[in-house]
Amino acid sequence: MHYPPIYHHRPPTMDPTYALKPPKIHVVPRLNAQWIWAAKVRDKQTLTFRGKCTLTSIPEDATCFITADDYFTLYINGKKIGETSVEPGNAFVWQQPRHYNIHQYLKRGVNTFTVVAKNDTGAAGLLCGVISGNRTLLTTDSSWKVHEGIDIPSEQSDAGSWVNATVEGTLMTTPWDGSLSGWPGLSAKYLNKMNWYPHKYLQMEGIKPISLKDGILQVTNNSPSKHTVLIDFGQEVAGRILVSAPTGTNVLVGTGESIGEALNAPWGGVHNLTVHNGVQTTTPWSAFRYANVTFPSNTTVALKASVIAQLKYYPVNYLGSFRCSSPLLNKIWYTGAYTAHLCMQEDIWDAPKRDRVRWMGDLQVSGRVIDDVYLDKFLMEQTMTKLRDAAQDGRPPLENPVKHVNDVCGYSAAWVVGLADFTKRVGDLKYLNKQHDLLISMLRYMRTDLNSKDLFTDLTKTWNFVDWSPGFVQYSSLSRTATQMYYIRAYKDAAFLFNVMHDKVNARKCEVWAQKLTTAAKKYLLDGNTNTFSDRRQDNAMAVFAGVTTPTENSAIYQRDFQQDSPAWNQVATPYFNNYVLYAMSDMGHSNSALKFAKGYWGGMLDDGATTFWESYNPLWPKDHPHKAMQYSGSMCHGWAAGVTAWLTERVLGVESTGIGYARTTIAPDLCNLKWVKGDVPTPRGLIQVSITRSGGKETGYVIIPAGVTVDLKLNGHEQTVIGPSRFALPK
């Protein structure tokens, strides 16, 4: 499908990949090794592994790649080749696989690879493989033998106490997926890389910058103590640090999303990189803006080293756009889009620094942004599939799952709602039909959390997460109210999905279930004295989001919990739940207040130096150290904080799909106090383009609708239905 160019100039986005054509990717031979261990995993465990390969001739070149969570010692044919051990300040040694040229250690016939692997705590695994040119000679799999304890390497029999290794998972299995740096061909083929150079050098000691463009530093030999430099890459990026030098040396690198994190608490620890002569050495993949680099203090000769960043990104086209009379809102829209894009890695993660995993609640928010900006199909479907399959754990689709999605009750509801969001925007019916039975079993499993009064009571005793804020804790009654509302929304959206799949029977069941839960919420959760569901924004926002509230209740909720001077604003909420607050305020008819909130809250992050939106935020945090308030562990790029971008598209520009893949669409611009707004919304049928200007109390402009789209247009108090293709001036 052809989309016309939207801009002749660069919009206010921080995305360095904006408008880049996907480069040709040189694919290194990929080692599809498997993570292996013993059948039982224990802390402080030491195992010996043995694998074999038979060679008819000795290859001219052969490279062994190996890592173990946590440490290993490698022997080939009885010869010790290399090892890893504890590195002070680096708790993730295993994230950097070692590679060895092993040509000289191989022989004709049977070659024995022996690995002594040690696990400190948590997950444990060994990953090993050997390649020669384009050939794979050996990989870890279930044919390897394992023995408890240390067995001195030899070519003795593998009988007796030796047993076949247990396969822990594939190369990209959690918790190791996305964490390895330097495994050949590991990065998904749909990801690209680009170099990114320092924006400026900050604190320097014993170092002189030579070139920002090339990231070249001159390490002088006259500093009495150490050689350090703090590098600012200008903005949040997802990638890793590349270090190279013409002579071998060790370099310490700590990265951070803030200066404080880079200096005081680098995520993943300080990485001790052994720089080989002229060969680039890398840190593990992460997200950062700053890098604190230390060269050894005993440097005796002048050293020129290159320190740059290598970005890893999922290629996207900015099909959607947003512009209005407020430059701040334009910047907010593109910052949210960039935040969501950085989370698009091997899958759609919550954040590229931490946790670097799939979370469905996060995806329900960031997924709408991804749909509205990029109209992505591949990565959205892949991520939703993995999340749902993990809950099913191999059971037949119609059987109940073994757990909730992500082990969070509300995230099962988020999967249903996210599937409906995706269907309305992308409209992939083939994918939806594959979810039919899984949808039935998940909805049935969700009902096991309801008591005889049709109230959510968390009977499965899983994590009833709602929001990172005081009062919202596991099993609390406050959390139950919000989750009840999420369940109601999920059953309503499920009815929509079953109707799309022409399953009227299950659609009707979902409508009945949604009504029962709504009746129970009104009877047991609504405060008859205040006409609200609590004194907290989260509960009431979810009630509005679920379509539970009446106009009378909306008025009471707004007056008590949402208007500017309400005590409820003193309560902490994350950007995740403030997303639902935005939608609730609009749906209650207070878009002006919502727009003011968006400017103050998300705009507040920008004022505090954000280039992507943060996992948590409080406008009262110290302006000079907001990341310290998150104890540095919080992410300064987090997908669940990006929802404001979708809200601006769907509520201010006013374009939202109500059918399958925008076949039926509502366009209801709400300019609030803006003078004009215009933008583009991608659909499977082409771009919907809207431009509205307010003058003299009237709104004029134009709308372009592609073929196959029927629009319910609401403007200036009038409603009309328009069938595309159509281009017309407003009012029509």
Chain segment 602-626, per-residue pLDDT in tens: 999 999 999 999 999 999 898 888 9
Burial class (CB in 10 A: 0-12, 13-18, 19+), 511: middle
| Residue 51 shares a structural domain with residue 157 | yes
Instruction: Kindly report the three-state secondary structure assignment for every residue of 239-299.
Output: EEEEEEECCCEEEEEEEECCHHHHHHCCCCCCEEEEECECCCEECCCEEEEEEEEEECCCC
Chain segment 429-459, per-residue pLDDT in tens: 999 999 999 999 999 999 999 999 999 998 8
Task: Kindly report the CATH number assigned to the domain that includes residue 502.
Answer: 1.50.10.10
CA–CA separation, 31 vs 185, rounded Å?
Answer: 7
| Residue 149 shares a structural domain with residue 202 | no
Burial class (CB in 10 A: 0-12, 13-18, 19+), 648: buried
What are the strands of the beta sheet with 698-705, ordered from one edge? 321-324, 676-683, 686-695, 698-705, 726-730
| Residue 196 shares a structural domain with residue 159 | no
Mean pLDDT of 546-561: 96
Q: Which residues have a Cβ under 8 Å from the Cβ of 262 and sit 6 or more positions away?
A: 230, 254, 255, 256, 288, 290, 291, 292
Q: In terms of Cα–Cα distance, which of 28, 81, 72 is closest to 49?
A: 72
* Residue 638 domain flag: no
Say whether 397 sits in a helix, a strand or coil. Answer: coil
Q: Which residues have a Cβ under 8 Å from the Cβ of 579 and sit 6 or more positions away?
A: 365, 640, 641, 643, 644, 647
What are the strands of the beta sheet with 718-723, ordered from one edge? 655-657, 664-667, 710-715, 718-723
* Residue 472 domain flag: yes
Of 301 and 7, which is predicted with more confidence?
A: 301
Provide the domain count of the chain. Answer: 4
Task: Kindly report the CATH number assigned to the domain that includes residue 668.
Answer: 2.60.420.10
Kindly state the tokens that stand for 703. 């709308």
Say whether 702 sits in a helix, a strand or coil. Answer: strand
Q: What number of residues does the chain have?
A: 732
| Residue 213 shares a structural domain with residue 300 | yes
Neighbours of 37 (CB within 10 A): 23
| Residue 95 shares a structural domain with residue 233 | no
Which of 268, 298, 313 is a domain's end point? 313
Q: In terms of Cα–Cα distance, which of 256, 257, 250 is closest to 305?
A: 250
Chain segment 383-442, per-residue pLDDT in tens: 999 999 999 999 999 999 999 999 999 999 999 999 999 999 999 999 999 999 999 999
Question: 14 vs 11, 345, 557, CA distance in Å?
Answer: 9, 17, 37
| Residue 99 shares a structural domain with residue 148 | yes
Q: What is the mean pLDDT of the chain?
A: 91
Q: In terms of Cα–Cα distance, which of 122, 112, 116, 113 is closest to 147?
A: 116
Q: Which residues have a Cβ under 8 Å from the Cβ of 132 and sit 6 or more positions away?
A: 59, 60, 61, 62, 63
In one-letter notation, the amino acid at residue 29 is: P
- What pLDDT was estimated at residue 7? 43
Neighbours of 80 (CB within 10 A): 12
pLDDT surpassing 50 at residue 26? no
* Residue 350 domain flag: no
Q: In terms of Cα–Cα distance, which of 702, 644, 648, 631 is closest to 260?
A: 631
| Residue 693 shares a structural domain with residue 724 | yes
* Residue 14 domain flag: no
Across 471-596, where does the E strand assignment appear? none
Residue 167: half-sphere exposure toward Cβ, Cα within 13 Å? 13
Mean pLDDT of 334-342: 98
Backbone angles phi, psi at 383, to 5 degrees: -70, -45
| Residue 445 shares a structural domain with residue 502 | yes
Kindly state the tokens that stand for 195. 């170099």
Q: Which residues have a Cβ under 8 Å from the Cβ of 100 and sit 6 or more positions away?
A: 63, 64, 66, 74, 81, 82
Backbone angles phi, psi at 22, to 5 degrees: -60, 125
Mean pLDDT of 563-576: 89
Question: Domain residues for 144?
Answer: 35-169
E strand or H helix at 371: helix 360-373
* Residue 380 domain flag: no
pLDDT band at residue 541 under the 50/70/90 scheme: very high
| Residue 59 shares a structural domain with residue 154 | yes
CB 350 within 8 A of CB 362: yes
* Residue 668 domain flag: yes
| Residue 457 shares a structural domain with residue 551 | yes
- What pLDDT was estimated at residue 22? 64
- What pLDDT was estimated at residue 475? 61
Which of 269, 291, 313 is a domain's end point? 313
Chain segment 87-106, per-residue pLDDT in tens: 765 667 888 889 899 999 99
Say whether 156 sits in a helix, a strand or coil. Answer: coil
Maximum pairwise Cα distance, the chain: 91
pLDDT band at residue 2 under the 50/70/90 scheme: very low
- What pLDDT was estimated at residue 246? 86
Q: In terms of Cα–Cα distance, which of 472, 452, 448 is closest to 461?
A: 448
| Residue 561 shares a structural domain with residue 678 | no
| Residue 526 shares a structural domain with residue 481 | yes
Backbone angles phi, psi at 599, to 5 degrees: -65, -40
Say whether 225 sits in a helix, a strand or coil. Answer: coil
Residue 721: half-sphere exposure toward Cβ, Cα within 13 Å? 5
pLDDT surpassing 60 at residue 594? yes
pLDDT surpassing 90 at residue 4? no
Pick from 330-339, 429-438, 462-471: least confident: 462-471
Kindly state the tokens that stand for 411. 């995230």
* Residue 135 domain flag: yes
Chain segment 290-324, per-residue pLDDT in tens: 999 998 876 666 788 999 999 999 999 999 999 99
Backbone angles phi, psi at 556, to 5 degrees: -65, -40
- What pLDDT was estimated at residue 224? 58
Task: Kindly report the CATH number assigned to the domain that includes residue 217.
Answer: 2.60.120.260
CB 233 within 8 A of CB 198: yes
In one-letter notation, the amino acid at residue 160 is: G
pLDDT surpassing 50 at residue 107? yes
- What pLDDT was estimated at residue 622? 87
pLDDT surpassing 80 at residue 341? yes
Chain segment 69-92, per-residue pLDDT in tens: 999 999 999 999 999 988 765 667
Q: How far apart are the first and last CA of the chain?
A: 29
Chain segment 170-219, per-residue pLDDT in tens: 887 767 766 677 787 665 678 889 999 999 999 998 899 999 989 999 98
For the residues of 298-360, what is the DSSP string, one character each?
T--S-EEEEEEEEEEE-------EEEES-HHHHHHHHHHHHHHHHTBSSSB-S-TTTT-S--H
CB 685 within 8 A of CB 707: yes
Q: What percent of the chain clears pLDDT 70, i.e. is strictly above it? A: 92
Chain segment 656-684, per-residue pLDDT in tens: 999 999 999 999 999 999 999 999 999 99
CA 34 to chain centre: 24
* Residue 389 domain flag: no
Of 204 and 730, which is predicted with more confidence?
A: 204
